[in-house]
Structure 1
Amino acid sequence: MTDSAIATPGRTGRIARRAIILAVLVAISLTMEISGFIATPAAEREEVSYTTIHAIVPIVFAVCAAVAWAIGPTPLPARLMAAIVVLWIPQPIYAVIGDIGWLWPIVRGIDLWWAVAAGILVLVYPRGWLADRADRIFVRIAYVATFVNLVAVLLLAGPGENTCDCVANPYRIADLPWLFDLIDNLYRFVGVTLLLIFAVRLLVRWVRGSVPARAVAFTMPVAILAWALAAAAETLSYAADTTSDLVIRTVSLLGIASIPVSFVAGISHTRALRARVADLMKITREGADRAVWAASLAETLRDDSVSVYWWDDERGRYYDAAGEPVDAGHADPRGSHSMLPVTAPSGAPIALIRHDRVLTDNMRLLDGVSSALRLSVDNGRLRSEVERTLEHVRQSRQRILEAGIEARRRIERNLHDGAQQRFVALGMHLRLAADRAAALGDADLAAELEGAIVQLSAGLKELRELAHGIHPSLLSQGGLALAVPELAGRCPVPVEVDVQAEGRLPEIVESTSYFVIAELLANIAKHSGATRAWVRAHVDDGRFEFSVRDNGSGGVSLEGGSGMVGLVDRVDAVDGTIELESPPGAGTTVVVRVPITASEREQQHV
C-alpha cells in the first residue's frame, strides 16, 4: 500500500471534522442573527437588507476559513476566521438574552472580540504568522485593551442605552456610569486607531513595494481602509450617543467581509506563483543557460530586480553576468532585498539569487526556485556529460570504421600483391608445362595439367572477387561515380544509376555509402521480388544524399533483420541518418544522408 493511500483517509477525516466545525459555527451565528431579529420589536428592527448583509458576513468568513485551511501557509488564519464566525454577535441578540443576568454581561464583554481577531488576521497577512516586532506590539495592546474592557463590562456595566435594556448585572460592584462610558469609548477609540494604523501601514507598503510586494498585498489595503474609516465614523456616533448612518454601517460590513476574501485571494495568488516554478523548470529543463534562467526567473517571480550570481569553482567566488565578483554576504542597504543561496546536495555552492525581501515570506516559493535551479544545473551537467559521451562513442565508432576500411584495403593489397601474383605465376608455369607435355606426346599429362589450369583459374577468379568485395578497386581509383554503376551491373535486377558526387568525397563517406548501397541491392535481389531498381546520389548542402528504390513487395522495416540493423549502425557511425518508406505492395525506398565537413572535403582534394 502506498503512502498516499495511507494518508488519504486521515486527510478526508480532517476535512470532514473541519466542515462539521464550520457548519456548527455558522449555525450558531445564524441562530443568533435570526433569533435576535425576531425578538426585536418591529419598530426597532434594522433594515432587512442590512440584517441580511450582517448575517452573510460570518458565512463569508466560514467559507474563506475552509479555503484557508486547505491552502493557507499556517493554520492560524483559518482558525482566526473560524473564531470570527462565532464571535460575530449581532446587537439584537440582547433582546433574547437580556433577561439572563449572568449571561448578557459576558456577551457584552466579548461582543467586539471579532474585531481583535480580524485585526490579527490582517497583521498575519500574507505570511500566516506575526513576523514584525511592531505587529506583536500592536497585538499586545489589543489584548490589554480587550481584557480591560471585559473587566469594565463585568464590574461596571449596568442596563442602559450604551449597554442594553437588560436585567441587572450580577457582577457589578459599583455604579459609576461615567467611568464605564470612558473605558468603553476609550476601548473603541484604541481599536479604531489600531485599525487606521494597520490600514496606513498596508497602504504605504503597497505603494512603496516592488511588483512582488504589490502582487502579494493584492486588495487587502482597500478592504482594511474601508473598514477602518467606517469604524471610525461609527465610533464617533457611538460616543455621541447617536445612530450612525446606514450607508456607513453597510460600508463597514462590506469592508469586513472583504478581509477574508482578500486574504484567500492573496494566498491563492502566492500558490499560483509557486505553480509557475513548474513553468520555470520546463523552460530550463535543457540546462541552466544563464541569460535565459535569469530572465525566466524574473518573469516567474514578477520581480524585475532579480539577479543571479553564479559560483566559479576555479576562482572560489560568485560572479554576476558582467564578470564582477559579488560578496555572498551582500545585503541591500535599504533592506529591500535578500540573498538566497542555492547549493548542490553535496553542499557545494551553485548560485546566489538576489530577490525582493517580501518573497522571504513565501519560503515554499523560494524552495521551489532553489530546486528548479539545482535541477536545471544538474540537467545541464548531465546533458553535457551525455553529449560528450555520445561524441566519444561516435568518434570511437568512426575510428573503428576507418580502421576497418584500412584493414580491408591492406588485405586487398596483400591478396593482390601476394597470393594473387603467386597464383598468376603458377598458372603461367602450368601453361608452359601443359604445352611441353603436349609437344612430347604425353596426352594424359597434358590433360591433367589443363584441368589444373582450369581449377587454378576458377580459384583465382574467386580470389579476385573476394579482394574486390573487401575493398573495391574501382572505388579507390574512381570513387562512387565509377564504383556504383559497376556494383549495379552485378545485380540480377535491372538498376538505373544516377550518381552525381561532384568529385571525390572523403574516403569514409565513399566507403560507407558504397557498402550500404551494396547491401541494399543485395536485399533487393534476394527478398523484394522487384523487376526494377533505382539508385540516385548527389551532394546537397554539405551532405552526401543517396536513395535506393525498388518496385518490389515492400513491407520492410529497419528492425526487420540483422542486415538492416547493421546498415543503421554503419550510417550512424558516420553521424548520418537513414529513412525508410516501405508500404506493403508499393516497393521500398531508402534515403541515406551522410554529412561532409568542409575540412574533410579540403583534405580529400589535397
Structure 2
Amino acid sequence: MIAAVVAISLFMEVSGYLATPEALRPELSWTTVHAIVPLVFAACAGVAWAIGPNPVPARLMIVFVLFWIPQAFYPVIESLGWLWPILRGVDLGWAVVAGILVLVYPRGGLGDRFDRFIASTALVATVVNFFTVLALAGPDSVPCDCVPNPYRLAEAPTVFAIVDIGYRFVGVALAVAIALRLLLRWVRGSVPARTVAFLMPVALLSWVSTLAAQMVRYATGAPPNLALETVSLIAMASVPVCFVAGIAHARNMRARVADLMRITREGADRGIWAESLARTLRDDSVRVFWWEEERGRYVDAAGRPIDSAEEGRSHSILPVASPSGLPIALIRHDRVLTDNMRLLDGVSSALRLSVDNGRLRSEIERTLEQVRQSRQRIVEAGDEARRRIERDLHDGAQQHLVAVGMQLRIAANGARAADDDALASELEESIATLNQGLKELRELAHGIHPSLLSQGGLALALPELAGRCPVPVDIAVQPEGRLAELVESTAYFAVAESLANVAKHSRATRAWVRAYVEGDELVLTIRDNGVGGASLDRGTGMLGIVDRIDAVGGAIELDSPPGAGTTVSIRMPAHLEASEDLPGSGAGLLVAAEPGVEPPDAASSPAPANSVAPGVVSSPADL
C-alpha cells in the first residue's frame, strides 16, 4: 500500500513537471522538496505502522500522500473534464488530514470534545468546498487550459471566490487553534505532559505560521514567495517525523519498565517502588496506595489512607490487581499518561510481578527455614538415638558379657585347680572369644556415639579419633569450653569420615586437622599430602556428612587438585538455638593452635607434642 501511494505521488510530481511549459516550470529545487514531502509521510507511515499502538496514524499518513496533488499535475489531466474538478475539490484535503493527524497524537484517536469539534468542522468545510467546486468552478480556477467543467451548475465567480478563500481561512484558523492549544498544553503541562507532547508543538507551530502567511498572500493575490513556500514544505515534512519520534519516545519509556523490574525484583518495597515509579514515568506527583487486607482499605507507604479527592482533573487512578482479582495497589498518576496505556499496562504488570516475587520469596524463605529446622531436628533425634543405643550397649549387653567373662574366668581357675587341663583350655578359648566379641562391641558402641565426645567434647574426642588413624595426624585443638552438642557431633563425624578417606584412598604419609572458632563459626580444616583428586559426590559417607553440615546451616568446600593433596574446609555455626538445652552442651570456644600456619614436614621435623600414634579409625561409613 505504501509503495503504491508513493508510486502515484511520484507519477503526479514528475509528469506534472514535464507537462508544464519550460517557461512556467517552478525551480527544480522547490519541485524536489515538494516531491520529498509525501515520501517523508510514506516512510513515517511505515514506521508508525510497525511501532505505533494504533494503525490510524499510519493510515492518515498514507491518505495524506494521495491528497498531496501538485498544481503542476493539472496540465496532465486538462482534457479530462470528469477528473480535474474532483481533484480541484480535494486538492487541499492534505491539510485536513495533517490537522487530524496532529489531533490523534499520540494515542491514535480523538481525545475530547475539542478534538471532535475541530475534526468535524474541518470535514464539514471540506465537503462544502468540494461540492462548491463541482457546482461553480470553471477552467479559470486551475492553472491549466482545462476543458469545461461538466458538473458546473452556474457561473458565480464571486460566490466561488468567497467559498474558496473562506475555506482556506477556516483551515488556517483551525490549524492555529490546534497549534495554540497544543503549545499551551506543553507550556502549562506537567513533565509527563511535555514528555508525551515531545516535539510536535514546534513542528506544528512552524507549519501553521507559514500556512497563515501563504493564505494571506493567496487572498490578496500577491505572487507566491518561493522561500516562504520552501520553509512551509519543510515544516510540513517535520510533522510526521515528530509524530514518529514521539511514538518512539513513548516506546522507549515503556522499555524503562524493564529497569523498574530490575530495581524491584527482590519484592515490592513500598518506598523504593514509589520512587522508582516516579523516575520511570517522569512524574513526581505519582503516589502508590497499597491494599491493606486486614482493614480493607488502601494506604500509602507511611500508612495513611487514600483520600477521596486523589483523582482530580489533573490525575487519574490506575488500579492494579492480581490475576485472581485480589486488589494489590492503586497508582495515582498524571492524567496525560492515559494516552500511553501500553506504558501503564507495563507498570501494572511490573508491580504485579514484583508483589508476586516478594510473596514467593517470603514463602520460599519460610519453607526453607522450616526444612532447615526439620533437618536439624532429624539430626538431633538421630544423635540422641545414637547416645541411647551406646548407653544401652554399655550398660546392658556389655555389662552382661563382662559378668559372663568373670564367671568363665572363675570356672577356668577352678578347673585348673582341679587339674582338669582340658576343661581349663576350653574355658580359656571361650574367654578369648568373649574378649574379642567384647572388644568389637565396644568399637561398635564407640562408632555409634563416642563416649569421649559426650564427656569431654571435641578436645578429647578428636585426638582419640586421630590416634586410631593408620596415617600420622597432627591435631590442633585447644580444650577450652564446650560447643552445642549438635555442632560437636557434626564436627566429630565430619573429621571421622575425612580421616577414613585419608586412610583408604589418599595414599598420604601425613594429615593435619585444625579446629577453631572464628567469630560465631566453628572452622574445621582436614588436609593430607596424598594424591588428591577427591570429590564430595563420591561415596555415601561424604554425602551424609554434607547433609549433616547443611542441616546445621554450615558449608563445606573441597580442594583436591590431582597430585597436590586434599583439603576439606568446613564452616558451621558454633552455637545453635535448637541444641542449647541438650545435655552436655555449653558455651565455649575452640581455638586453633596457630591456625593457618603450615605444619612442618614429617620427614624433616619430629612429630609435635600433640601428635598421636597411628591406629585404626572407625567411621559411620565403615559401620
**Normalised TM-score (structure 1):** 0.92
2:83 partner amino acid: L
- 2:93 equivalent in structure 1: 113
- 1:408 equivalent in structure 2: 386
- 1:260 equivalent in structure 2: 240
Kept in 1: contact 2:5–2:66 (CA 8 A): yes
Q: Which of 538, 549, 555 lines up with 1:577 in the alignment? A: 555
Measure how far apart 1:330 and its partner are: 4.5
Q: Which of 266, 274, 284 lines up with 1:286 in the alignment? A: 266
Helix, strand or coil: the match of 2:303?
coil
Measure how far apart 1:282 and its partner are: 2.9
Helix, strand or coil: the match of 2:153?
coil
- 1:216 equivalent in structure 2: 196
- 1:142 equivalent in structure 2: 122
Distance 2:145 2:137 in 1: 11
Helix, strand or coil: the match of 1:345?
coil
Kept in 1: contact 2:318–2:332 (CA 8 A): yes
- 1:332 equivalent in structure 2: 311
More deviation, 294-303/198-207:
294-303
Distance 2:296 2:216 in 1: 65
Measure how far apart 1:368 and its partner are: 1.9
- 1:102 equivalent in structure 2: 82
Helix, strand or coil: the match of 1:311?
strand
Kept in 2: contact 1:62–1:85 (CA 8 A): yes
Deviations 1:69-121 (A, max 9, x none): 11222211111000111111111112322343332221111100011111110
Q: Show the 5 A alignment for 1:373-384.
A: 373-384=351-362
Q: Show the 5 A alignment for 1:79-90.
A: 79-90=59-70
Measure how far apart 1:67 and its partner are: 1.1
**Structure 1 residues 502 and 46: alpha-carbon distance in aligned structure 2, compared to 1, 3 A threshold:** farther
Measure how far apart 1:601 and its partner are: 7.7
Q: Show the 5 A alignment for 1:150-189.
A: 150-160=130-140, 164-189=144-169
Q: Which of 89, 94, 105 lines up with 1:125 in the alignment? A: 105
Q: Show the 5 A alignment for 1:468-507.
A: 468-500=446-478, 503-507=481-485
Distance 2:511 2:279 in 1: 58
Answer 1 or 2: which has greater helix percent: 1
Q: Does 1:460 align with 2:432?
A: no
Q: Does 1:424 align with 2:406?
A: no
- 1:30 equivalent in structure 2: 10
Kept in 1: contact 2:49–2:55 (CA 8 A): yes
- 2:586 equivalent in structure 1: 604
Q: Which of 257, 271, 283 lines up with 1:277 in the alignment? A: 257
Cα RMSD after superposing both structures: 1.9
Helix, strand or coil: the match of 1:325?
coil
Deviations 1:227-255 (A, max 9, x none): 00000000000001112422221221111
- 2:490 equivalent in structure 1: 512
2:70 partner amino acid: P
Distance 2:551 2:156 in 1: 102
Distance 2:25 2:562 in 1: 88
2:126 partner amino acid: T
Deviations 1:415-436 (A, max 9, x none): 2222222222332232223223
Measure how far apart 1:471 and its partner are: 1.5
Measure how far apart 1:456 and its partner are: 2.0
Deviations 1:533-576 (A, max 9, x none): 22122111211111212222222222223222212111111111
More deviation, 89-98/123-132:
89-98
More deviation, 126-135/97-106:
97-106
Helix, strand or coil: the match of 2:477?
strand
Q: Show the 5 A alignment for 1:548-587.
A: 548-587=526-565
Distance 2:205 2:479 in 1: 82
**Structure 1 residues 191 and 502: alpha-carbon distance in aligned structure 2, compared to 1, 3 A threshold:** farther
Kept in 2: contact 1:233–1:244 (CA 8 A): no
Kept in 2: contact 1:212–1:358 (CA 8 A): yes
Kept in 1: contact 2:82–2:149 (CA 8 A): yes
Q: Show the 5 A alignment for 1:7-26.
A: 21-26=1-6
Helix, strand or coil: the match of 1:214?
helix
- 2:524 equivalent in structure 1: 546
Measure how far apart 1:163 and its partner are: 5.8
Question: Can you give the 5+ residue segments of structure 1 that lack an aligned partner in the other structure?
Answer: 1-20
More deviation, 110-119/292-301:
292-301
Deviations 1:192-212 (A, max 9, x none): 111111111111111222222
Helix, strand or coil: the match of 2:289?
strand
Distance 1:562 1:464 in 2: 24
Helix, strand or coil: the match of 1:160?
helix
Kept in 2: contact 1:108–1:163 (CA 8 A): no
Distance 2:210 2:320 in 1: 47
**Structure 1 residues 501 and 359: alpha-carbon distance in aligned structure 2, compared to 1, 3 A threshold:** farther
Distance 1:501 1:166 in 2: 118
**Structure 1 residues 559 and 501: alpha-carbon distance in aligned structure 2, compared to 1, 3 A threshold:** farther
Q: Does 1:190 align with 2:173?
A: no
Q: Which of 264, 276, 284 lines up with 1:304 in the alignment? A: 284
Q: Does 1:319 align with 2:305?
A: no
Measure how far apart 1:164 and its partner are: 4.8
**Normalised TM-score (structure 2):** 0.90
Deviations 1:12-35 (A, max 9, x none): xxxxxxxxx211211111111112
Counting matched residue pairs gives: 584
Helix, strand or coil: the match of 1:496?
strand
Distance 2:75 2:481 in 1: 108
Deviations 1:490-513 (A, max 9, x none): 111122222257532111111001
Residue identity over aligned pairs, in percent, reads 67
- 1:42 equivalent in structure 2: 22
More deviation, 156-165/550-559:
156-165
Kept in 1: contact 2:74–2:143 (CA 8 A): no
Deviations 1:322-353 (A, max 9, x none): 111115x65433x1111111111221111111
1:421 partner amino acid: Q
Q: Show the 5 A alignment for 1:338-357.
A: 338-357=316-335
Kept in 1: contact 2:511–2:528 (CA 8 A): yes
